[in-house]
Amino acid sequence: MSLGRTDRPPLTGPQRFLLGGSFLITLGSFAVLPYMSVLLHQRLGLGLGTVGIVLAVASLIQFAGGVVAGPVTGRIGLRRTMLLALGLRTAGFAAFVPGLTSPVLAVGALLLVSAGAALYLPANKAYLVDGASEAQRPRLLSASGSAFNAGMALGPPAAAPLVMGSPGVLFSCVTVLFALVGAGHALLPAGAADRPSGGSAAGGAPESGPSHPGPSPFLVTVLSVYAFMFFQHYLALYAVPRTSAAFYGAVLTGYAALLVVAQPLLAERVAALGYPAALRWGFGAMAAGMAAIGAGGHAGIAVGGALLCLGEIVLFLKNDLEALARSPAAPASVFGRQRLAAGIGAFASGVVGGQLYGAAESAGSARGFWVAVCLQCLLLPVFLLRRRRTARDPEGSRAGAG
């Protein structure tokens, strides 16, 4: 047991700063972005159809744009990419101040913020794990996830008193916050993490050893986010009429708190799981969570949220770790592709979920929606693991025939 402790060196100063900065960045972003549809529609008078298109384009840039992070970091380095990203986001939030009276400026500001987010997250994660051993990565990535999720949880309630009454003050405060965090990033030390990531030893080829069993982490990420976003998109529609808005808010707060605390505690156990086992545990927890939500009532929704949190921890962390371990590309490129996969999954979930929920309501039972999603979560690991075995069988048959 003591051997395990010697393999866990303390976080460095730059790593601690980056984790603190991740919290502040997400806090500032989520003080604004969840209210964007309200601002665009009610304050600036854009039609709901136009608002939907704007938000869809912004989401596409934020997720799919992550693939650009790899080439950019390869050319200018990780630290400079983060500075560029924070510069774009600071400019975007600053442009919202005059944009509160101009739809064109407001939309342009939102797209700037989205472009900055696309570059920042892959470079942030790559800087965090640069130079770290494979055994240290779970702790670092789980701590990063906790920092981001804490900011997501606290941002909306922190901004609620200002978002409609004094949005100019809110955007000015967020702009100053991003400028200060960006200045701190400029002071990060040069070194291995500041070289173009393509030349980083930590981001190179995976360690030698046995091949990693299981399907492609990109495909699993697409399907993990696809399944998870049914919960994210449609829980409010289901839970608020059956419980209350206050209870729904409490479930979200509890979910965020559980995620922040449990993810670092479970990181090493998740890392130790084989990929097929992680798929079974992760999708199994999601299936159980969807079933509990479908059972209805305060207890079912609360228990379902906790099970979905467990599924998110296992699948999202394991997918990132597996993608890093398998790919010879630089970490920023790996994380950029993972962001693209998440974007594809979220888009597919939005398209399928709306049709599925509408059909369930038309049939007179919204619970049928959660049953259908539960069945998908049960079938997805079967499909993924059977697909892997089928892909390997011809090779085995040829080897046996030879």
- pLDDT at position 191 over 70: no
At 76 the pLDDT is 87
| Lowest-confidence pick of 219-223, 234-238, 372-376, 378-382 | 234-238
- Give me the mean pLDDT over the 144-159 stretch: 86
- Alpha carbon distances (Å) from 395 to 44, 392, 402: 60, 5, 11
Helices (H), 187-296: 217-242, 245-272, 275-295
Encode 324-354: b = buried (16+ Cβ within 10 Å), e = exposed: bbbbebbbbbbbbbbbbbbbbbbbebbebbe
Residue 226's nearest CA partner among 58, 379, 22, 37 is: 379
At 66 the pLDDT is 84
Name all contacts of 158-167 with Cβ < 8 Å and 24+ positions apart: 158/27, 158/31, 159/30, 159/31, 159/32, 159/35, 163/31, 163/32, 163/35, 163/38, 163/39, 164/35, 164/38, 164/42, 164/43, 167/39, 167/43, 167/96, 167/100
- Give me the mean pLDDT over the 368-372 stretch: 93
- pLDDT at position 2 over 70: no
More confident: 376 or 211: 376
Q: What is the distance between the alpha carbons of residues 124 and 220, in angstroms, rounded to a whole number?
A: 22
- pLDDT at position 222 over 70: yes
**pLDDT band at residue 95 using 50, 70 and 90 as cut-offs:** very high
More confident: 398 or 317: 317
Q: Is there a contact between 15 and 164 (Cβ–Cβ < 8 Å)?
A: no
Q: What is the mean pLDDT of the chain?
A: 84
At 320 the pLDDT is 92
At 201 the pLDDT is 38
Q: Is there a contact between 110 and 58 (Cβ–Cβ < 8 Å)?
A: yes
At 269 the pLDDT is 93
Specify the pTM.
Answer: 0.78
At 190 the pLDDT is 61
At 163 the pLDDT is 74
- pLDDT at position 38 over 80: no
| Lowest-confidence pick of 15-19, 189-193, 199-203 | 199-203
Residue 300's nearest CA partner among 284, 310, 289, 315 is: 289
At 400 the pLDDT is 42
At 214 the pLDDT is 64
| Lowest-confidence pick of 12-16, 203-207, 231-235, 306-310 | 203-207
DSSP state of 131: T
Handedness of CA 347, 351, 356, 362 (dihedral sign): positive
